[in-house]
Amino acid sequence: MKKNLLALSLVAMAAFSSCAVVSTPIGAGALYTSVNHVEAVTSNTVGLKVGTATASNILGLVSMGDASVNAAAKGAGIRKISHVDCKKTNLLGIYSTYTVYVYGE
């Protein structure tokens, strides 16, 4: 019984510790976060191409992916960037993602 209670307590602490949190301009939600916002703007005209790049995190223990502006631009063949947006999501502090959207021509 004591072992089960200890195991349950450890699982609860891990689940509610918000290890995989992403910061946002308005703060992070306790249960779920999904926020889009601008990262950068240039004087170039808005192009028709959009490139994306994503990185993710699990429990603050494992992070993977390339969410760089360069990776997003290269993937879409963008040479002149007009602006960069991002989307940050977080589910219970267990799983979070950061996606970069690069617009240009």
Token pair listed for 25: 């301009």
- 62 within a domain of the structure (yes/no): yes
Residue-level pLDDT at 66: 96
- Specify the number of domains making up the chain: 1
What is this structure's pTM? 0.73
Q: Per-residue pLDDT tens for 14-73?
A: 665 555 555 655 566 778 989 888 888 888 888 899 999 999 999 889 999 999 999 999
Q: Per-residue pLDDT tens for 82-101?
A: 999 999 999 988 999 999 99
CA dihedral 17, 65, 43, 36 (to 10 degrees): -40
Range of the domain at 44: 18-104
- 13 within a domain of the structure (yes/no): no
- 100 within a domain of the structure (yes/no): yes
What CA–CA distance (Å, rounded) separates 44 from 69? 16
